[in-house]
Structure 1
């Protein structure tokens, strides 16, 4: 079973301790049964022994302690494992190649790291109860052997008939839960489409209805899959109860008719059987949860294997490049691949040189390859052909991990962090000065190393991102259509003052822009046209 291998693989804590405590809890529970049977028989004969009461208290104390220990230990163990998995998966994701993240989308990552691991977390209490209940059943069967071997034989025969049927239905339940897990991931993706595309849907009623209809369809499929899985589970539990009551009927009505000596043991046998019913029901009741946990674990490991196959295997010891004089791209090409391996878009034969302290503007129409060029230039994509040289040194894949440290970037789909991660000894006076310089002093406040308000316009968010890149103080600044969302006054300040100050300070600025009014402020202007770098008039 996946869950057994899961515990062996994910923790160094000996599982046998939990199992041992489960056995003790089961034994103590069964001891309570034996003491109750004996005490009930003595009461019927008007006999009372203090020793039995003392044994009852001792057994009860052992049972209460071991049950509490088992629940706490199991919960602690599982929560530790869940934390390790979440951290490990996230760590591997951040070391993947960008193309894998772009192609995979975010829904599966979110679902596995949050929802799926939460399911594992939820089984901790159920698992401890199931372990304890299982041992109670086993030890109680041993007790049944002691008081009536014939009754145990009947129970074994009935179990021999029931178990194959149970296994078959359990297999069907696992298949149904696999379908449920897939449908829930699709549903999560559909909800994400509505939330992430909220503005777009507000402007297109027909599109909004179509997206919602798709969500309804996915929700109905998820509902049907869940109902089918539940139907199999209910059938399983009903069958177990039915089998148990058949056993009770055999023990009370059938066996005494053929074995007279058995009559004196009926009370103990029935009491024991009824006692077993509770733990047996609990064990069977949690089998669907166990199935779901197995499926969840299988999905998580499948995702982890997928991530590992796309890790940036060229990452080495961290020794970042911090300065440069020249950067040269020679005959560089890159292509996006379709599912069938064919090329969907490419940039090709790019020859571009950069110098320290240079301001370079890149122009071109939508889809011309500007952003793709920037991703290749910054090392987010590996060129399929051509070379990149830094100060006449060839940049191999083993260098990319450190080569990327030359750049601070603001892409069109940038993410804004509210905390200044990765910056030590932050000069708060400089932060406040930059907030004023970038006309943000009335918006976000910088308190305790983080910005308190990110509810800003797109242009203001870009300025805040620019503030962070200025604090990072990297040699090369990449700005992808930064000025497009700025007001005319700040746009003028950006081109005529800010960029010139960066140039004076020895920074290299590469900006994608369409503001031809300010092209004269750049050292050079180049153009991307259908994936090729061409001369700009």
Structure 2
């Protein structure tokens, strides 16, 4: 991915105009020295005339008024053209950055869940928050570099006209200086690349510190080990590589700043001993070289920043290549009625090479109007089965059927819309997205009261007032959002794990039977064996395979209010209208 190519593709006309204005600005910039030297040319009789009769402009006496007007006009043109060039390209840079982010948003949204899990959250966040701003930073330098390059070329042309021997000597010095400058810059760039790669690991460690702070506070030995061998190891590596890279780069930059003075010294103290050059030419050469000191410093000093931007551009380009598009057809088949979901020899392997954990083959059936519990030990494949069931994972073998319709690229997107899931690592949005407003506030307020959240959360203007809740309360709020969606298949992954006994009983004895009564297919990943008799089937997994399927005698009993409510004021909180709504 080339930065300039991306900009040209985004806005070719504006980029061309920006380059044109920058080039013309650089040309005009380089003409200022010849213009000044022509005015200061010794032996010019015009100076005597000017001294005798200065022109008065707005109460100011101006010597050599025609040249002064040209000088002012050129300076104003440089100001306007240079500003326009920078502003136009900066605006294009901002648009390109936004386009990069939007493209990443779209790729993340359309990528398979397994691919995103493999890439990792830290790397995705770093690309959006670090790499894209660095690309913009590099883009904003392009006008200044362009103007400096044109100025440098213009001044070299002036030297060629002034004295060809000096021109070739200066050109050789610049070539040698640029080469000797680039060698350490290339070395420094390698350290920057290493630092950028290490920063991804550091980002993951920082996330571990924030998310695992509770565990670390309870074990000083673990906390110290985490700091020493994980967090600070990555931090020290980033620091070491950035220090080394910046040391090399800053040394090279300071060398570049003095490059023009090295050339001036070589001409004044060495070159004059081997070539004939008049004092007037020597003055012109020194002025020209002093004049190009700024542009040369800009070019050389901006190269490291462009290198950093280039590294970020390559990282973003690599990330684009690593995020695959999910195999979903652009046009999806319309949904068909279904009364069950069927797995036929469905299998999934985490490592396509064959050495990873494998689930299946599974032959299962989930019916509408039934509750299915999925149980098993850690690592038995429960969550993987849940993601296969909700169509987040595509089976590597076998077929998933919704009714008699096999899930294909042309139908997977359609049937996903019939599913609602609350995973163990669910994300809770602060608003209800994609839901019609008519009667929504009344329904949400009703659920907030039923779930005993009305004293903590209010629903106003389509948003929840806060998400700063306990884990159990957050799960109840996620349950509320799921109920509002009103889907045909509900998956709950350890939803009741963080609930108190009261709401655990409500969940198993009222909410799940209420969903079943409404003809929903209900699947619950759980360890609560005391409620197994409420299920229509219990699927027991072990090592990625079905150990057995049990069909306990279904108990439709709902615990009486008085036996599970801790507060008699809440005795009718889940009365018949609430169950009916559920």
**Band of TM-score, shorter chain:** over 0.9
Q: Is 1:502 matched up with 2:515?
A: yes
Match for residue 371 of structure 1 among 366, 369, 383: 383
C-alpha distance in 2 between matches for 1:22 and 1:379:
54
C-alpha distance in 2 between matches for 1:325 and 1:130:
66
- Normalization by structure 2: what TM-score? 0.86
Once the two structures are superposed, the pairs formed by residues 1-16 of structure 1 within 5 Å of their partners are 2-16=2-16
C-alpha distance in 1 between matches for 2:509 and 2:243:
65
Q: For 1:13-65, what per-residue CA distance to the aligned partner results, in whole angstroms no more than 9, with x for missing partners?
A: 45322211111111222232223323344799554310011011101110110
C-alpha distance in 2 between matches for 1:513 and 1:255:
87
Q: For 1:467-501, what per-residue CA distance to the aligned partner results, in whole angstroms no more than 9, with x for missing partners?
A: 11111111111111111211222222222222222
Q: Is 1:286 matched up with 2:298?
A: no
Secondary structure (helix, strand or coil) at the match of 1:273 reads: helix
Match for residue 145 of structure 2 among 120, 123, 130: 130
Is residue 326–residue 354 contact of structure 1 (8 Å, CA) maintained in 2?
yes
Secondary structure (helix, strand or coil) at the match of 2:95 reads: helix
Q: Is 1:321 matched up with 2:327?
A: no
Secondary structure (helix, strand or coil) at the match of 1:479 reads: strand
C-alpha distance in 2 between matches for 1:205 and 1:320:
57
Q: Match of 1:345?
A: 357
C-alpha distance in 2 between matches for 1:261 and 1:173:
40
Once the two structures are superposed, the pairs formed by residues 292-311 of structure 1 within 5 Å of their partners are 292-307=308-323, 310-311=324-325
Q: Is 1:444 matched up with 2:457?
A: yes
Q: For 1:85-116, what per-residue CA distance to the aligned partner results, in whole angstroms no more than 9, with x for missing partners?
A: 01101211111111111222111111112111
Q: Match of 1:175?
A: 190
Match for residue 264 of structure 2 among 248, 257, 278: 248
Q: Is 1:37 matched up with 2:52?
A: no
C-alpha distance in 1 between matches for 2:126 and 2:167:
46
C-alpha distance in 1 between matches for 2:508 and 2:89:
61
Q: Is 1:483 matched up with 2:496?
A: yes
Secondary structure (helix, strand or coil) at the match of 1:506 reads: coil
Shift in Å at residue 124 of structure 1? 4.0
- Give the count of matched residue pairs: 533
Q: Match of 2:525?
A: 512
Q: Which moved more, 1:96-105 or 1:294-303?
A: 96-105
Q: Match of 1:54?
A: 69
Is residue 331–residue 410 contact of structure 2 (8 Å, CA) maintained in 1?
no
Q: Match of 2:443?
A: 430
Q: 1:320 to 1:478 in 2, by over 3 A?
A: farther
Secondary structure (helix, strand or coil) at the match of 1:386 reads: strand
Q: Which moved more, 1:410-419 or 1:94-103?
A: 94-103
C-alpha distance in 2 between matches for 1:478 and 1:16:
55
Q: Which moved more, 1:253-262 or 1:118-127?
A: 253-262
Q: Which moved more, 1:519-528 or 1:449-458?
A: 519-528
Q: Match of 2:201?
A: 186
Once the two structures are superposed, the pairs formed by residues 156-175 of structure 1 within 5 Å of their partners are 156-175=171-190
Is residue 494–residue 525 contact of structure 2 (8 Å, CA) maintained in 1?
yes
Secondary structure (helix, strand or coil) at the match of 2:369 reads: coil
Could you say which structure has the larger radius of gyration? Answer: 2
C-alpha distance in 1 between matches for 2:211 and 2:8:
40
Q: 1:23 to 1:344 in 2, by over 3 A?
A: closer
Q: Match of 1:463?
A: 476
Is residue 321–residue 406 contact of structure 1 (8 Å, CA) maintained in 2?
no
Q: Match of 1:227?
A: 243
Q: 1:253 to 1:365 in 2, by over 3 A?
A: closer
Match for residue 127 of structure 2 among 112, 115, 128: 112
Q: Match of 2:398?
A: 386
Q: Match of 2:326?
A: 312
Is residue 11–residue 81 contact of structure 1 (8 Å, CA) maintained in 2?
no
Q: Which moved more, 1:493-502 or 1:91-100?
A: 493-502
C-alpha distance in 2 between matches for 1:461 and 1:12:
49
Q: Match of 1:405?
A: 417
Secondary structure (helix, strand or coil) at the match of 2:522 reads: strand
Is residue 476–residue 507 contact of structure 1 (8 Å, CA) maintained in 2?
yes
C-alpha distance in 2 between matches for 1:535 and 1:184:
47
Q: For 1:405-456, what per-residue CA distance to the aligned partner results, in whole angstroms no more than 9, with x for missing partners?
A: 2210001111111121222335211111111112111112212111120011
Q: 1:43 to 1:535 in 2, by over 3 A?
A: farther
Is residue 116–residue 296 contact of structure 1 (8 Å, CA) maintained in 2?
yes
Is residue 338–residue 404 contact of structure 2 (8 Å, CA) maintained in 1?
no
Shift in Å at residue 317 of structure 1? 2.0
Q: Which moved more, 1:482-491 or 1:5-14?
A: 5-14
C-alpha distance in 1 between matches for 2:42 and 2:140:
37
Q: 1:247 to 1:349 in 2, by over 3 A?
A: closer
Q: Is 1:473 matched up with 2:483?
A: no
Gaps of 5+ in 1: none
C-alpha distance in 2 between matches for 1:203 and 1:261:
80
Is residue 418–residue 451 contact of structure 1 (8 Å, CA) maintained in 2?
yes
Gaps of 5+ in 2: 51-62, 553-582
Secondary structure (helix, strand or coil) at the match of 1:286 reads: helix
Q: Match of 1:526?
A: 539
Is residue 39–residue 52 contact of structure 1 (8 Å, CA) maintained in 2?
yes
C-alpha distance in 2 between matches for 1:469 and 1:13:
49
C-alpha distance in 2 between matches for 1:62 and 1:318:
57
Shift in Å at residue 323 of structure 1? 4.5
Shift in Å at residue 83 of structure 1? 0.4
Secondary structure (helix, strand or coil) at the match of 2:410 reads: helix
Is residue 169–residue 232 contact of structure 1 (8 Å, CA) maintained in 2?
yes
Q: 1:473 to 1:42 in 2, by over 3 A?
A: farther
Q: For 1:255-306, what per-residue CA distance to the aligned partner results, in whole angstroms no more than 9, with x for missing partners?
A: 4445555222222221111011111111111010111111111111011111
Q: Which moved more, 1:378-387 or 1:34-43?
A: 34-43
Q: Match of 1:65?
A: 80
C-alpha distance in 2 between matches for 1:39 and 1:323:
90
Secondary structure (helix, strand or coil) at the match of 1:357 reads: coil
